[in-house]
Structure 1
Amino acid sequence: MNNQYNTRAIMASLLICGFVGMFSETALNIAITNLMEEFQISAATAQWLTTGYLLTLGIIMPISGLLLQMFTTRQMFMGSLISFIVGTLIGALALNFEMLMFARVLQAAGMALLLPLLFNTVLVIYPPQKRGVAMGFVGLVIMFAPAIGPTISGLLIEYLTWHYIFWLSLPFLIIGLLIGLKYLENVTDVTKARIDLLSVALSTIGFGGVVFGFSKAGEGVEGWSSMVVVTSIIVGLVALVLFILRQNLMHDPMMNLNVFKYPMYVTGLLLVLSCMIFVMSSMIILPMFLQTGAGLSVFIAGLMLLPGSALNGILGPLVGRLFDKFGPKWLVIPGLILVAVVLWFFTTLSPASSVVFIVALHTALMVGICMIWMPAQTNGLNQLPPELYPHGTAVLNSLQQVAGAIGIAVAISILTNGKEKYLHGSSDPTKLTEIASATTAGTQSVFWFMLIIALLGLILGFFIRRVVNHEERYSAH
């Protein structure tokens, strides 16, 4: 199977574009304060640059399985990159908040088409016994790019302006597009899938409502008690229930939920979602703790998280090789134990904790996540028959966005409650040392919450076993 595709060139073009996409997801986060001053907008409005991005992903990704069947690989690739390049160019030239917001939505739309295409292409062009390494490279992109985003943009903002975050991305996207146009072939069969408008509407309201509700809750002032938050989460959940019922009744569903009949897929999915919660929660809570609790600058806080994220990315391909050789169990269980131990240490954080201690813990956390994420995900997808690949990746990518939004929202609300509870009992709640201690108390509570998830994940990890893939079964007969 491998001979007919130029797998290296295909992967290079998809990975370059994927890297820029994931980089864009977090690169603007550090610029939020500058943007608030420049455009005279509130924090809640500025937050939309991230919320809107996540929301677009949450709406388009569920229909990606359908789109992958309706359009050829090259058409999907072209569509995603044109959307991305136009969005990035508008972002680079943005004169006001509305223009920048529009740019973010176009970027996210490109990313929402590109990620499922990337996963699906790997499943088609690599035989099962070589998928681990390929997925390891995908993992490198998905983990390392968002982690390096804040550090690079911190440098760009320090010496240039935030516009350069977009200017820096443009040439890479164009290179990725050119390589793809030359080497990317149509690797999937196009079926004339019928669009069920009701399914599209329910999925949009469902995933969109849940992601929006949790993102709004994470923004803070009223949090969970806000009418908007409660309403959008309830409406989203009702729409999702109706969406699931609708898919089960359809002969040709938009998102085929038969993927949930495969136990290793479900196990892998749950483990990937817990990893997503660990990553998103720690990526938002640690910088807050480092700045408010430990009094460090934004740039230093960004730099401190870099070693762990870089190592996580670099180890991806190696973990992939080990997975191809030994299967998932010997990676996932030690990974979960490592994560649980690290999270337990994180519950002891204080303003007096040394920088080295925090960097070492974060690095160990990211190594543990790397050992769980890729093997659990690849093993799960390997259990699916080829006709369910687009649906398996659509479910995985959609739920990851939801888990990310939930992770951030829950982490921020636990942090805020912990802080308020501490300051409530404080004799001088405005004193800086007291605020630092309050932030510490809130941060510790977040890590207890993550530790509980890790322990549940560990129980689940004992049930994981290597999958004999469908394709291998056929070749064995």
Structure 2
Amino acid sequence: MKETNTSKFNVNLAVLATGIMAFSGVLIETAMNVTFPTLIKQFGIGTADVQWVTTIYLLMIAIIVPLSSFLIKNYCVRDLFFCSILLFISGVALNSLPINFAVLLAGRLLQGVATGIALPLMFNIILTKVPLSKRGLMIGIGTLTTSIAPALGPTYGGILTSTIGWHYIYVILLPILVITMVVGLYAMPKEVIKKSGQLNWGAAGALAVLFSAILLSFSFFGQGIFWLFLFIVLLSAALFFKLNQKNILINLKVFKNRAFSGFLFGFVVFQSMLLGISFIIPNFMQLAMDIPSSKAGLMMFPGALIGAIFAPISGRILDSIGAKKPIVFGIVIALVGWGILSVVVPTGVVSLTILGHVIFMIGVGFSYSNLMSIGLSSITSAEQADGNAIFTTLQQLFGAISTAFVALVMALFQESASSFVEGTIVGAKVDLYIFFIILLVGLGIVFRGFKKEK
């Protein structure tokens, strides 16, 4: 519990500070995707090794985010922000010096821990400090960190890698993060916290093993060890559910709220598609069409800009007329855009690919953040911290699973096709078709969520 002094709390600056840090984390995550060939040559490592640049970061987020409910209830916002920004700056500083691969991984680990604290912290500030009448707009602005950064990342990373070097991905962010720390500490006053409960270390450990095993299983698909990881997934899941009942780490009873579950499903589908397309387009264009990394990354920019414009607008619409119309409209537009991408991406036509991505991002702008707004609004205030933790945890986990899944599908077809290029084309098609079907299912589930919400 908290004794707050909201008159001294600058909500806008606090959301800005935590948002910049969360944005930087997701930006780096997707920017590093286009650096893999360069890292392999520079450090003399293999493809299986270089994947840990992304995997270790996502693992740490997946491990830390479930703890956010406990952390928010037992530590003040200012302390959590200060801890996370220090860790993030330390990780970025390490990666600004391209010493060796081990140092790069250490920096990514620190950034993962910091982002795992910052993401749920930002949404908690919005949920507890922003009036309900303005909450849709603020969540729309907040989700720009995770909906726009994946599209900007390949552009940012591609341009820097092909011009002045991949480590400038981090160098450029350092002064911005230092300023962010100053702004955040100014905006967030010290609050008195009445600590509640002990951390369930057993459940937290089981959840960490569960998420780690899920992500690692994709790396060993088709091998004997894959079944070992699958067994670990099932065992750790059962252990988590048992331990979580004794001392609740995350209140899973919120899933009994059908409206919450339906909107969460739609949100997770969009997150998976955002991360998936940020992998498919740049890698397909480089591998199958021999387009330079800078140009392949730049193709994502128009859609990112459109998404940035429409997300806060849709939040304002939600505050004015409700959630159903902007969300349903957004999903339908996203289906149209994804349908275009499914047809034109395999042809390699750059202009049509950009058009399809822009239309898809318009749909994302109208529905993605609003799904989170209405989902969290469908549960009680006492469940907000747990609901926020669940949204943010699954957002990161399924983002990681999505990236691993599209890479796995593409790799399987590359190995089985008569040529590498042909396999890349077929793999991209299959990835796009699968996500189209999932989004179609998501539309039906979201409709049911609105019925339950009434």
Q: TM-score range by the shorter chain?
A: over 0.9
- Aligned with residue 240 of structure 1, among 237, 242, 254: 237
Which deviations, in whole Å up to 9, do the C-alpha atoms of 1:119-160 show, x marking residues without a partner? 111100112221111011112222222322222222222332
Rounded to whole Å, the distance in 1 between the matches of 2:162 and 2:288 is 23
Rounded to whole Å, the distance in 2 between the matches of 1:55 and 1:98 is 16
Rounded to whole Å, the distance in 2 between the matches of 1:350 and 1:5 is 47
Q: Which residue does the alignment assign to 1:389?
A: 384
1:177-188 to 2 correspondences below 5 Å: 177-186=181-190
Q: Which residue does the alignment assign to 2:325?
A: 330
Rounded to whole Å, the distance in 2 between the matches of 1:160 and 1:133 is 38
Q: Which residue does the alignment assign to 1:439?
A: 424
Rounded to whole Å, the distance in 1 between the matches of 2:276 and 2:200 is 36
Matched, 1:131 2:126: no
Q: Is the 8 A contact 1:289 1:439 kept in 2?
A: yes
Q: Helix, strand or coil for the counterpart of 1:349?
A: helix
Q: Which residue does the alignment assign to 1:51?
A: 55
Q: Which residue does the alignment assign to 1:159?
A: 163
Matched, 1:347 2:351: no
Rounded to whole Å, the distance in 2 between the matches of 1:162 and 1:275 is 29
Q: Which residue does the alignment assign to 2:147?
A: 143
Q: Is the 8 A contact 1:58 1:211 kept in 2?
A: no
Rounded to whole Å, the distance in 1 between the matches of 2:134 and 2:192 is 19
Letter in 1 for 2:299: M
Once structures 1 and 2 are overlaid, which stretch shifts more, 113-122 or 163-172? 163-172
**Structure 2 CA distance for partners of 1:392 and 1:351, relative to 1, 3 Å:** closer
Rounded to whole Å, the distance in 1 between the matches of 2:154 and 2:383 is 36
Shift of 1:63: 1.4
1:87-98 to 2 correspondences below 5 Å: 87-98=91-102
Rounded to whole Å, the distance in 1 between the matches of 2:374 and 2:187 is 28
Q: Is the 8 A contact 1:328 1:464 kept in 2?
A: no
1:457-468 to 2 correspondences below 5 Å: 457-465=442-450
**Structure 2 CA distance for partners of 1:10 and 1:468, relative to 1, 3 Å:** farther
Q: Helix, strand or coil for the counterpart of 1:398?
A: helix
Q: Which residue does the alignment assign to 1:226?
A: 223
**Structure 2 CA distance for partners of 1:188 and 1:65, relative to 1, 3 Å:** farther
Rounded to whole Å, the distance in 2 between the matches of 1:196 and 1:161 is 43
> Is there any run of 5+ residues in structure 2 with no aligned partner, and where?
none
Q: Which residue does the alignment assign to 1:319?
A: 314
Shift of 1:401: 2.1
Q: Which residue does the alignment assign to 1:452?
A: 437
Normalised by the length of structure 2, the TM-score is 0.93
The size of the alignment, in residue pairs, is: 450
Q: Is the 8 A contact 1:81 1:110 kept in 2?
A: yes
Q: Which residue does the alignment assign to 2:86?
A: 82
Normalised by the length of structure 1, the TM-score is 0.88
Q: Which residue does the alignment assign to 2:202?
A: 198
Q: Which residue does the alignment assign to 1:220?
A: none
Q: Is the 8 A contact 1:349 1:444 kept in 2?
A: no
Which deviations, in whole Å up to 9, do the C-alpha atoms of 1:165-217 show, x marking residues without a partner? 21111111111111111121356854232122211221111122223323x2x
Shift of 1:258: 2.0
Matched, 1:403 2:388: no
Shift of 1:233: 3.5
Rounded to whole Å, the distance in 2 between the matches of 1:50 and 1:258 is 32
Rounded to whole Å, the distance in 2 between the matches of 1:234 and 1:73 is 38
Rounded to whole Å, the distance in 1 between the matches of 2:48 and 2:193 is 44
Rounded to whole Å, the distance in 2 between the matches of 1:176 and 1:210 is 34
1:259-338 to 2 correspondences below 5 Å: 259-338=254-333
**Structure 2 CA distance for partners of 1:399 and 1:227, relative to 1, 3 Å:** farther
> Is there any run of 5+ residues in structure 1 with no aligned partner, and where?
217-222, 424-428, 430-434, 470-477
